[in-house]
Each structure stands twice: as C-alpha cells, then as structure tokens.
Amino acid sequence: MASAFRPQQARIPPALAIPIPLLTKAIGNLFCFIYRFKIGLCQLAVTPDKERNIKHARKAIKEAAQKGAQLVVLPEIWNSPYSNDSFPVYAEDIDAGHDASPSTAMLAEVSGQLKITIVGGSIPERCGDKLYNTCCIFGTDGKLKAKHRKIHLFDIDIPGKLTFMESKTFTSGETPTIVDTDVGRIGIGICHDICFEELAMIYASRGAHLICYPGAFNMTSGPSHWELLQRSRAADNQLYVATCSPARDAGAGYIAWGHSTLVGPFGDVIATTEHDEDIIIAEIDYSILEQRRTRIPLAKQRRGDLYRLVDIRRLDAHCRL
Ligand SMILES: O=C(O)CCC(=O)C(=O)O
C-alpha cells in the first residue's frame, strides 16, 4: 500500500534531506543495533500435536532466516490449540529450564544457531499454580532477553457470535515489557493488549522503534478491528507495528482471522497476507521514524499542560533507559 507521505511532497529543505538519515544512522550505530533489516512474520498452522507444532515452527523460523530475516515473530499460542481446555495441558514451566519447556528450548537453540532475534509468539506458561499467556524474546546469542505475560486478558461475550473467557484459565501479567535487541528497541504486547493505546504510548515514550503483537484475532473482531488497531498504534506513536497470527483453521473451536501484518510509522500497511499459512518477509528502516517524527513532531506538540500519561508502574525494562 502506498504511503500517504511521498518524499516529493515533503517541505523539508533539500539541505536537510541527506543529513537526517545519516545522523540517525550514526545514532543507531552508537546504540549498537541494526538500522535497516528484514523481519519475518511466520503465520503458522497450529495443530493439537505439540511436537509437530514445535518442529513446524523451527522449520518456518529457518526458512525466514534463509530469506534474510534478522528478526522473526511467531503467532500467539503457537504450540497449542487456542482453548481453555488446552492451555493447562500444553503449558510449560519456562523458568524451570529446557527440559520443562521444549517450546522455548527450541527458540533458544535456533536463535543462537542462526544468530537472529526471535519474538517467540506466545505459549501457555505454568508458574506455580498460575497460568500465563507468555511471549519470550530471544537474542542472537540464544539467551532469553525478556518475557512478557499478556496484560489484558481476552474476555468477550457477543451473544450468537463469540464468547471466550481467557481469564477462566490465565492470570494477567503485571508489567509492560520493552527490550533492547540487535534490531532495535522493541515493545511487546499480546493480542488484546493492542486495544489499549496507553501501553503503546508508554513504549513510544520509552523510545521503542517497533511494537510486536503476536495475536489471534477472530472472525468477529478481526475484520473490523485487526488492521485498524495496528495502523492506529503505529500512526499515533510514529513507530513500526508488527503482528503475527496463527493461520486460519475453519474446523477449530476458535477460528483465527490470520492477516499477519507489518505497519510503518505513517500508519501504512507495508506487508500483509490472507489467512493461510505464510511467511511474510519485509524490510524495516528506522531512519523513516526520524523522518516522520521530524516532519510531524507530535512529541513536541503534545499538550502536557492539559493532559499527561502517567506511568504508574515501572516497565519490565530490559533496555538502557
Ligand atoms: O481484542 C480482540 O478483539 C481480539 C483479542 C483476541 O483475540 C485475544 O486477545 O486473543
């Protein structure tokens, strides 16, 4: 989709056109992350066979890396069917080591082996007597960099259409998560977390370049809200937004909408897909963030004298703030 802001329409003096990208690249290098890279969004078919799901995800991650992706994102709940009956059965104790968590063991192994960053979708996590919907982020050294537990659980009741109560099994996470990686500063949300703009605003105020939302929207809210919310979070906050959904299985109890997408800081859809299995490979260029923020300086224009976002709790920050 074409961006609404075409370079030839810009009113920036020509003399500034070269220094801004150069300057921002230099700043990027200073903070030791890659400024321009490919992202891979693996829209995976998920089955009741956990072992198969893990093997299948591994294969997709390798394929994305072979196609040049330095950051790979997986879907929400990719190792288990999306159902309250399945979550306790498929849950893994992530903190108890690789034997107790074959799904994250695979992510650790493959991220280190391929030297890529992985935003590992989400899996049901068991911690004591609680279950969480948890995303693990792995660095290029294969180490777990951060863990995000879904903050806003998906409880919905639309009579005749969809009733789902995630809170029947999951406990909500208590901390927003922002992490410094080799591919920039990334804020993490899981699916319904995307509906809450305050979370995205906090990430933007803490310098996020990109927000990744593994998500499994459905046939009710998917058509009306999925793309709208991604574009809104990106345009409001002048950053990249990446989403990754499971592929649609029309026979499943919960039918995912699909349509994994990368949105740019202009609110423009850079790459997307339909509902079948797919691997999207697309380019991210952080110099565009500076361009956007310089041309429309929302941060400077914000009226802190009239309204203000209050950051009540400290972020679960795995970055240099
Ligand atoms: O917010 C929505 O409409 C969908 C959210 C969802 O499917 C989820 O959080 O799993």
Residue 244 near ligand 1, beta carbon < 6 Å: no
What CA–CA distance (Å, rounded) separates 212 from 186?
7
pLDDT of residue 319: 72
25 is catalytic: no
pLDDT of residue 321: 56
pLDDT of residue 31: 54
Residue 164: pLDDT above 80?
A: yes
pLDDT of residue 311: 75
Mean pLDDT of 167-172: 98
> Please, what is the average pLDDT of the chain?
90
Mean pLDDT of 259-286: 97
What CA–CA distance (Å, rounded) separates 284 from 19?
20
pTM of the predicted model, to two decimals?
0.89
Distance of alpha carbon 65 from the chain centroid: 17
Share of the chain above pLDDT 90, in %: 81
What CA–CA distance (Å, rounded) separates 56 from 63?
11
Pairing of the two strands 69-73 and 123-127: unpaired
The single residue of 42, 136, 191, 244 carrying the catalytic annotation is 191
pLDDT of residue 15: 38
Mean pLDDT of 67-96: 98
Query: Hey, whose CA ends up nearest to atom 1 of ligand 1?
Result: 192
Pick from 108, 53, 107: nearest CA to 77: 53
pLDDT of residue 1: 32
The preferred substitution site among 46, 161, 221 for testing ligand 1, maximizing ligand atoms within 8 Å of CB, is: 221
pLDDT of residue 310: 81
76 is catalytic: yes
Mean pLDDT of 204-209: 94
